[in-house]
Amino acid sequence: MAEDSSIKAADKEQGVAAVERAFTIMNAFTVRDVSLSLHELAERTGLYKSTILRLISSLERWGCMHRLQDGRYQLGPRLMNWSRIYQSSLRLDQHVLPVLKLLVSETGEGASYFKREGDMRVCLYRVNSERAIQEYVTQGDMLPLGRGAAGRIMLDYANVEQTGMPTRSPVYVSFGETDPEVTALAAPVFESMNALAGSIAVSGPRSRMTRTVIDYIAECLLRAATDLTQRLGGDPALFRNASLPFGPGDSTAA
């Protein structure tokens, strides 16, 4: 009986490992890859080619992978079906609000989520700080796209799915652009196919925004943007090796 239990435990462990390896293979693809060779898959995953071929055989049967006539591989149509199912069941508030609440808890400042509407940005969600002195932004507020961190970051990262991530920091800092007494930091959020979904921002009185505080909030924002991007179907690797800013864009504070 003990031997049987150990065999079942081993089978369960191997089953989990096989699933994780299969996901590792699928995650090797990026939006810029039309197809990948077996050699490229091995290099990107660190798996043996024999292991990759065995797992691809199962993935092909389920429509998750497709082998081209030249021997290269593409992701299969089943993923598009899963994407449609996920998008149809997605409720943005269930993902955005927990991230905003965590930001407020971490930073002590108010946090907002903005979406672009033409030449304006609308605040879809807002969680206020509990501090007596704070910036007051309300859900539904329409603000200029070209002024303030949340709008400027959306302009900077509007076409990432076509051009790739800019080399500058994905955290923009604005000083008094929408209100002379307010400093704001914002980062982009991406969705499926790495299209820009919106921006996430933290804002508060300039008197509290020292260099140390700004750097800390920027770190929190990067984690939040990465988390929310993953939740919405974007690639969290877009934020890999991201640098921290100080000042408008990446320049020195005025």
All residues at 6 or more sequence positions from 145 whose CB lies less than 8 Å from its CB, including other chains? 116, 118, 119, 120, 121, 151, 154, 155
> What residues does CATH 1.10.10.10 cover in the chain?
2-86
What's residue 245's pLDDT?
Answer: 65
**pLDDT, greater one: 150 or 82:** 150
Contact 189, 234 (CB under 8 A): yes
Predicted TM-score of the model (pTM)? 0.65
CATH of domain 2-86: 1.10.10.10
What is the CATH class of 91-239? alpha beta
All residues at 6 or more sequence positions from 130 whose CB lies less than 8 Å from its CB, including other chains? 104, 108
Taking CA atoms, 198 is separated from 93, 95, 98, 139, in Å, by: 13, 13, 16, 14
What's residue 130's pLDDT?
Answer: 83
Let me know if 252 is exposed, middle or buried by CB neighbors in 10 A (0-12, 13-18, 19+). Answer: exposed
Let me know if 173 is exposed, middle or buried by CB neighbors in 10 A (0-12, 13-18, 19+). Answer: buried
Q: What is the pLDDT of residues 33-66, one digit of tens each?
A: 889 999 999 999 999 999 999 999 999 999 999 9
Q: What is the pLDDT of residues 164-211, one digit of tens each?
A: 777 678 999 999 888 888 999 999 999 888 889 999 999 999 989 999
From 109-113, 130-134, 190-194, 212-216, the region with the lowest mean pLDDT:
130-134
What's residue 108's pLDDT?
Answer: 94
From 83-87, 128-132, 167-171, the region with the lowest mean pLDDT:
83-87
- Tell me the torsion sign for CA atoms 24, 26, 29, 33: positive
Give the Cα separation of 197 and 158 in Å (integer): 9
Percent pLDDT > 70 in the chain is 83
> What residues does CATH 3.30.450.40 cover in the chain?
91-239
User: Can you name the residues that pair with 88 across neighbouring β-strands?
Assistant: none
